[in-house]
Structure 1
Amino acid sequence: MLTSAFFLAIMLVGVPIGLCLCLSGIFYIYSIDNPVLLQSYATQMFAGVDSYGLIAIPLFILIGEVMNSGGITKRLVDLSMAFIGSVKGGLAYVNILANMLVSSIIGSATAQVAIMSQVMVPEMEKQGYDKTFAAGLTVYGGMLGPIIPPSVMFVVYSVLAQVAVGDMLIAGILPGILLTVLFFIVIACMGWVYNYPRSAKRTLRERARTVLVSSPTLLIPLVIVGSILTGFANPTEAAAVGAVSAVLVGRYVTREFKYSELRAIMLRSAIYSAIVLFLVAAASVFSWLLIYGKVPQMVTAWVQTVAKDPVTFLLLVNVILLIIGTVIDGIPGLIMTAPILLPIATEVYGIDPRHFGVVIVINLVLGLMSPPVGLSFFVAAAVTGAKPGKMFIVTLPFFIISCIALVMLSLFPSLSLGLL
């Protein structure tokens, strides 16, 4: 109890979540008067990141940085516009479709929102869309980032749950497609109600030229996802090949990437990777101490008094994680909750760890779009100048449909495990 109070106190004063986990662990050791545990503290932290699968994280981050510098994002947007055509609300569909394509390269919600807000919001404003709606829609498009492979959150979960990284990445494909289709349905309904503008008409020749020019950028997601699905490469190897593909496409196809930028790109990738990996290490030692303190057993006993079957358990988890996700970022939230909830899900209720991983990740990502924090809305606000609170209200139908999708995924495991 004292450790929980200490953790909340230092988190509320602004201490980074990774340090909160480490300091809380040390506080717990001294509170039980067992300093001998400190001898294994550093070893447990190192063991948390001593995993081959985690090498994929800096590589996926590098791919996103290279893609942004190489003008690949803009080509994917152009490709989406060529496919959608001049339907009512066309640019709104383009926003989601482009986010879906970009998701197969970046794998991070906040990074994707920052990149796509710069690309899509000004263009939607030019065509008569409200800036607040355009920014909010981009936020929900960014939700696809941690779901459609590659996904940094799925890689972290795979290490925490000791399941194959490739299985988790494949498990995100159908949920990503489901969310995209549901978002399209919401756009169609809102388009008729609010009379969204049509996209500019393009001749068949113009569309064909755009597809021809932009299609090579699809080489990157095809290499990454295709090599994993076919078993030709594991996720780490696929990420390495994808990084090389991004450099080659940016340099010789779009011709916007410069080798002189590589040093700065790798530095940014290293900084973000270090943050993620430190969180994983901190979570490892924190989980070790939770197990020592028999916290999972106590939580299990309480949950079993509330949830009598797997469906009730998953619905309870959805509520708990959605609340946690509103105040804590996705990866820290995953690191804090997965070690406690996963053993209950698999050992008590017999839930497939891959299915549970999809539910927990989507839940925490949805928290990025929920008040009072809604981190993704603040990222979009910083780029576009729109107000976060108003963004949430204007795009409330997308939040509701996302919650419906989450319930569907909880009730029907085949929606996530169908391709495995």
Structure 2
Amino acid sequence: MTPLLFLVLLFGSVPIALVLALTALWYIYDSGNLVLYDSYAQQIFSGVENYGLLAIPLFILTGELMNEGGMTQRLVHAARVFVGGFRGGLAYINLLANMFMAAIIGSAASQIAVMSRAMVPAMTKEGYDPGFSAATTAAGGLLAPVIPPSMLFVIYGVLAQLPIGDLFIAGIIPGLILAGTFFVVVALIGLAKDFPKGEWMTLPEAARALRNALPAFLIPIAIVGGILFGIATPTESAAVASLIAFAVGWLFYREITPRDLGQLFVRTATNSSLVIFMIAAANVFGWVVVYEELPQKLAAFISTVTSDPFTFLLIVNLCLLFVGMLIDGIAALILITPILLPIAMNTYNIDPFQFGVVISLNLVLGLLTPPVGVGLYIASAMSGVRPFTIFAALWPFLLAVTVVLILLSYFPILSTALI
């Protein structure tokens, strides 16, 4: 009865946090072991009693301050210095700016929204196909789950009880590989469609663009540098980054004032509470899953299918691709980590950092794939291009992500080399 209730709630458009919490409640009732009710509230509270979760509202706040403080546009302009003169230069600028933003925002959905407003009109104005412009911007959002800081890595680190800083480091090489494949995709499409040739900035223009963006570059340096060199934890780096973002936007760019903070704090609190409540509900659901020995039963079944770790990861990738099409990436990560991670580690001896990188990248694909495809609708709403038109132009990027996923699944060194 409990699995049936879970499926009915899940496909009945009930918020995933309530699905997890109500399913756990019903399981206790259905099992007849009512003494478990005494531990229910404690399990919910212990799910959010984690210092690492403080990084979530701080990274969200940093992104809000970046958008309001004028740093996004300056980073885009700085990207033009490096790649603006190539054929299809604006498409490269789009991807490079997405790399900069991925090192700051950490959320694919937020990044797609911000960059769609900034880049799609500019690319369309210079003669690029609107569908390709929106697709390139949406694909750039896929860099957010692997280039640190990543919201999915923070959540996975909490669920898997892994150092979040090490997870961030594990995502650096995969993020660079993914960005490189996207650049190759743009180059090949540019040759086929004869993209307009860009123009290199003059030396004074380039120097001015880099000088204007220099304060904004302090933010990813503070986040990634602080973690890489062991100066600060991810949470402390996020706090420092939000302070720098406010100081730069207020004192240097003068596009934000202390009066704006109230509205930013409200938006940050609203978005953060949704994620943190899901994590609390997931903890009590994971408690039920462990109590029922579901990972052990699933592991016994899968081990009859294959004993090869790579084949197991391919099966997981295929299953998660369908899961990500139906459920939000964060919700899916919260749902499947307690079930699949013990199997990956104990049965197949898969490194938890490799597993985290693979499933995080896989699940965020659901942002851009129907029927849910939240990222598609965000890009469509911000650019005015129909979702189907975007998806039709998106398939080369999705193919590139598939290739990268296979590489990450086969070569664990790509995720663990820097740790």
TM-score range, shorter chain: over 0.9
Residue aligning to 1:316: 315
- Structure 2: distance between partners of 1:410 and 1:371: 24
- Output one character per residue of 1:103-140: Cα deviation in whole Å (capped at 9) or x when no partner: 11100000111111100111111101121211111111
Shift of 1:34: 2.1
- Structure 1: distance between partners of 2:19 and 2:384: 31
- Structure 2: distance between partners of 1:241 and 1:201: 35
Residue aligning to 2:404: 405
Residue aligning to 1:226: 225
Matched residue SS, 2:195: coil
- Output one character per residue of 1:351-391: Cα deviation in whole Å (capped at 9) or x when no partner: 11111110110110122222222211011112112111221
Shift of 1:164: 0.5
Shift of 1:85: 2.5
Q: One-letter code of the match for 2:178?
A: L
Alignment of 1:4-403 (within 5 A): 4-403=3-402
- Structure 2: distance between partners of 1:283 and 1:363: 20
Shift of 1:199: 2.5
Q: In the alignment, is the contact (CA less than 8 A) between 1:307 and 1:316 conserved in 2?
A: no
Shift of 1:12: 2.0
Matched residue SS, 1:252: helix
Q: One-letter code of the match for 2:349?
A: G
- Output one character per residue of 1:28-53: Cα deviation in whole Å (capped at 9) or x when no partner: 11222222211111100000110111
> Where does the alignment leave 5 or more consecutive residues of structure 2 unmatched?
none
Q: One-letter code of the match for 1:67?
A: M
Q: One-letter code of the match for 1:35?
A: L
Shift of 1:201: 4.3
Q: One-letter code of the match for 1:306?
A: V
Matched residue SS, 1:143: helix
> Where does the alignment leave 5 or more consecutive residues of structure 1 unmatched?
none
- Structure 2: distance between partners of 1:70 and 1:318: 39
Q: In the alignment, is the contact (CA less than 8 A) between 1:183 and 1:398 conserved in 2?
A: yes
Q: In the alignment, is the contact (CA less than 8 A) between 1:139 and 1:377 conserved in 2?
A: yes
Q: In the alignment, is the contact (CA less than 8 A) between 2:108 and 2:145 conserved in 1?
A: yes
Q: One-letter code of the match for 1:338?
A: T
Q: One-letter code of the match for 2:220?
A: P
Q: In the alignment, is the contact (CA less than 8 A) between 1:91 and 1:198 conserved in 2?
A: no
- Output one character per residue of 1:146-197: Cα deviation in whole Å (capped at 9) or x when no partner: 2111111101100111110100011111111111100000000000101111
- Percentage of identical aligned residues: 49
Q: Which stretch of the first structure deviates more once superposed, 81-90 or 38-47?
A: 81-90
Shift of 1:312: 1.0
- Structure 2: distance between partners of 1:236 and 1:394: 38
- Structure 1: distance between partners of 2:142 and 2:366: 10
Matched residue SS, 1:368: helix
Q: One-letter code of the match for 2:148?
A: P
Shift of 1:283: 0.3
- Structure 2: distance between partners of 1:153 and 1:66: 20
Q: Which stretch of the first structure deviates more once superposed, 8-17 or 321-330?
A: 8-17
- Structure 2: distance between partners of 1:128 and 1:259: 40
Q: Given the two structures, how large is their TM-score scaled by the length of structure 1?
A: 0.98
Q: Which stretch of the first structure deviates more once superposed, 224-233 or 359-368?
A: 359-368
- Output one character per residue of 1:273-325: Cα deviation in whole Å (capped at 9) or x when no partner: 10010000000000000111111111111110112111111111111111111
Q: One-letter code of the match for 2:216?
A: T
Q: One-letter code of the match for 1:300?
A: A
- Structure 2: distance between partners of 1:125 and 1:195: 15
- Structure 1: distance between partners of 2:252 and 2:103: 19
Q: In the alignment, is the contact (CA less than 8 A) between 1:99 and 1:142 conserved in 2?
A: yes
Shift of 1:200: 4.0
- Output one character per residue of 1:48-88: Cα deviation in whole Å (capped at 9) or x when no partner: 11011111111001100000000100010000011113211
Matched residue SS, 2:307: coil
Q: One-letter code of the match for 2:229?
A: T
